[in-house]
Amino acid sequence: MRKLVVGSRRSKLALTQSQQFINKLKEVDPTLEIEIKEIVTKGDQIVDKQLSKVGGKGLFVKEIQNELFNKDIDMAIHSLKDVPSIIPKGLTLGCIPDREIPFDAYISKNHTPLDELPAGSIIGTSSLRRGAQILAKYPKLEIKWIRGNIDTRLKKLETENYDAIILAAAGLKRMGWSDDIVTTYLDKDVLLPAIGQGALGIECRSDDTELLELLAKVHNKEVAECVTAERTFLAAMDGSCQVPIGGYATNQPGGKIEFTGLIMTPDGTERYEHTEIGKDPIELGRKVSNVLKEQGAYEIIRKLNEEQPH
Catalytic positions, written as ranges: 82
> 82, 51, 86: which is closest to 308 by C-alpha?
51
> 72, 99, 94, 54: which is closest to 8 by C-alpha?
72
Edge-to-edge strands, sheet with 271-278:
245-252, 256-264, 271-278
Alpha helices in 7-102 (DSSP H): 12-28, 42-45, 62-69
Q: Is 103 exposed, middle or buried (0-12, 13-18, 19+ CB in 10 A)?
A: buried
- Dump the DSSP string for 213-240: HHHHTT--HHHHHHHHHHHHHHHHTT--
Between the CA atoms of 150, 151, 152 and 153, what dihedral angle is there, to the nearest 10 degrees? Answer: 50
| Size of the chain in residues | 310
> 174, 116, 138: which is closest to 125 by C-alpha?
138
> 184, 164, 36: which is closest to 101 by C-alpha?
184
Q: Answer whether 227's CB lies under 8 Å from 199's CB.
A: yes
Q: Answer whether 281's CB lies under 8 Å from 303's CB.
A: no
Q: Which strand (E) or helix (H) includes residue 124?
A: strand 122-124
